[in-house]
């Protein structure tokens, strides 16, 4: 079994990872084929496992597997196991619940009201508390995923209709979710009241399509209709009727700003904005805020490319591909030793010596998490003969954990959680280091700046200001504190 550090991808990077991506289609020919294609476009959102469930008018079918979509849903034989005109799928990284086939979604259950399949993107931040209560009342869980909590809440709801049961269940959860639900009566898609996790709706002929990103609509040939609004629940029946409900009121939305920075594919539209344009704008803000005397602007591929283009355009410093990335480093190539994992950076990123030798380089990356990859890439530039290496980061310092569906180390392992700017610069070994400011990031996505009284995005990983309660975290912290309380001498 290959070992992968929980905060490193299979190539040795220490990027933040979105937990998952979801896709659903109803009233479509070869629904499972469209779902597999849509999931392939969302593969960047989860590369550990994939699953698809379908409904053929009589029964549900589910196929789930570890690995990539193309490894498990690329043949006619595999898709023939998933008949019907309604299907939903899921790609995942493991955060809440951990790895293993039993946690791969969609999750399916036979309820008293009929079959129920759900694909969930996000994280329920009171899942442990809800799970404990459900187990005490006799519930038997088949997985360790927080998504199964939603199924049990629906199953135990006393409301008469499936829609009311689902709303009743969601009123009890806190945190972030985008859901696609299938029942024998049709499909429902909903988004948490703050809209932290993304979800969009499209049309493909007579079919209605839901996906985490617009790029999945593009790939299957669907037209983008609109985003599912924060707190909205959309029902679609087999007769084609579409009904919108707003059961959670209208709180001020707080979508995840890191979708603009890294999570979404650059060819997606998020929150009515081109992700590619947002990333270019971030680079331009960086150049304004943190100029540098240099010969070349070099992106850390691939995620640093749009911001580096923006930095180069704003600064007038030439853009060059000073690092070439290999796209063929597979997880089976990784061995379980530290040396092999660390060598993954060199296998994935190689200096273009003819370009960088003797030059003053501005390296542009989307973020710094633990700092280990940044340190290695700076060293790669030095080994290739770069005269100076200046590092610019297209996000503010990531100093706080995410509890809304992003795979994040505890704060003590985040470089910005334990070091100031000078110490971080010394750690990665660059001549200079600068991050875009939080206001610069907000300007890059079309706003005047961050409103500290009422932020327009969820930016807790940068600011530590969480927009919802964090029940399970508070309970863990209380437990840790109790473990360290002094014992009374009278005890």
Under a CB-based contact definition with an 8 Å cutoff, are residues 244 and 172 in contact? Answer: no
Please tell me whether residue 218 adopts helix, strand or coil conformation. helix
Q: What is the DSSP letter of 95?
A: B
Sign of CA dihedral 432, 438, 441, 447: negative
Q: Could you tell me the two tokens for 490?
A: 């009278």
Q: Which helix (H) or strand (E) holds 386?
A: none
DSSP 8-state class, residue 206: T
Locate 312 and state its tokens: 């180069």
Closest CA to 95 of 491, 487, 472, 486: 472
**Neighbour order of strands in the sheet with 20-26:** 60-66, 49-55, 86-92, 20-26, 207-211, 200-204, 223-227
Helix pair angle (372-383, 421-428), 10° resolution: 50
Helices (H) and strands (E) counted in the chain, each on its own, are 18, 23
> What is the set of active-site residues?
20
For helices 147-156 and 127-136, the axis angle rounded to 10 degrees is: 40
Using H for helix, E for strand and C for coil, what is the string for 413-473? HCHHHHCCHHHHHHHHCCCEEEECCHHHHHHHCCCCCCCCCCCCCECHHHHCCCCCCCHHH
Both structure tokens of 418: 């334990």
- Of 176, 265, 257, residue with least CA distance to 217: 265
| E runs forming strands in 67-220 | 86-92, 107-111, 114-124, 175-183, 186-191, 200-204, 207-211
Which token pair is 81? 């196991």
Q: How many CB atoms lie within 10 A of CB 487?
A: 6
Q: CA-CA distance, 255 to 458, in Å (whole number)? A: 6
Contact indicator for 375, 389 with CB cutoff of 8 Å: no
The half-sphere exposure of 240 on its side-chain side, counting CA atoms within 13 A, is 6
């Amino acid at each position: 079994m290959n070992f992968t550090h929980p905060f490193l991808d299979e190539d040795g990077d220490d990027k933040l990872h979105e937990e998952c991506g979801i896709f659903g289609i109803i009233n479509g020919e070869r629904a499972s084929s469209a779902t597999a294609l849509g999931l392939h476009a969302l593969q960047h959102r989860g590369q550990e496992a994939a699953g698809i469930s379908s409904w053929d008018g009589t029964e549900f079918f589910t196929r789930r597997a570890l690995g990539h979509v193309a490894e498990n849903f690329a043949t006619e034989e595999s898709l023939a196991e998933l008949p019907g005109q309604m299907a939903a799928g899921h790609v995942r990284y493991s955060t809440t619940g951990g790895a293993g086939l039993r946690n791969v979604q969609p999750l399916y259950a036979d309820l008293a009201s009929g079959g129920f399949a759900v694909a969930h993107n996000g994280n329920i931040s009171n899942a442990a508390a809800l799970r404990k209560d459900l187990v005490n009342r006799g519930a038997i869980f088949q997985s360790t995923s927080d998504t199964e909590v939603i199924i049990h809440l629906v199953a135990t709801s006393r409301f008469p209709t499936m829609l009311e049961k689902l709303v009743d269940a969601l009123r009890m959860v806190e945190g972030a979710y985008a859901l696609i639900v299938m029942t024998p009566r049709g499909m429902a898609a909903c988004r948490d009241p703050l809209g932290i996790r993304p979800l969009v709706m499209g049309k493909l002929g007579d079919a209605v399509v839901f996906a985490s990103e617009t790029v999945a609509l593009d790939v299957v040939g669907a037209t983008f209709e609109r985003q599912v609004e924060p707190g909205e629940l959309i029902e679609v029946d087999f007769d084609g009727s579409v009904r919108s409900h707003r059961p959670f009121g209208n709180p001020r939305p707080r979508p995840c700003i890191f979708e603009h920075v890294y999570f979404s594919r650059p060819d997606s539209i998020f929150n009515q904005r081109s992700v590619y344009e947002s990333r270019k704008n971030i680079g331009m803000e960086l150049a304004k805020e943190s100029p540098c005397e240099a010969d070349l602007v070099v992106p850390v591929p691939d995620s640093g490319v749009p911001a580096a283009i923006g930095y180069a355009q704003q600064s007038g410093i030439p853009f060059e591909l000073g690092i070439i990335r290999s796209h063929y480093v597979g997880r089976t190539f990784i061995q379980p030793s530290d040396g092999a994992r660390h060598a993954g950076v060199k296998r994935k990123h190689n200096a273009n010596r003819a370009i960088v030798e003797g030059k003053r380089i501005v390296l542009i990356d989307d973020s710094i998490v633990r700092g280990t990859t940044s340190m290695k890439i700076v060293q790669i530039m030095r080994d290739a003969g770069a005269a100076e290496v200046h590092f610019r980061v297209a996000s503010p310092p990531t100093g706080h954990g995410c509890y809304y569906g992003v795979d994040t180390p505890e704060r003590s392992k985040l470089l910005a959680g334990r070091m100031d700017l000078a110490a971080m610069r010394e750690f990665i070994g660059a001549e200079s280091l600068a991050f875009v400011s939080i206001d610069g990031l907000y300007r890059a996505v079309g706003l005047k700046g961050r409103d500290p009284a009422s932020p327009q995005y969820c930016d807790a990983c940068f600011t530590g200001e969480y927009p919802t309660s964090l029940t399970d975290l508070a309970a863990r912290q209380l437990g840790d504190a109790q473990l360290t309380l002094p014992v009374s001498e009278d005890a």
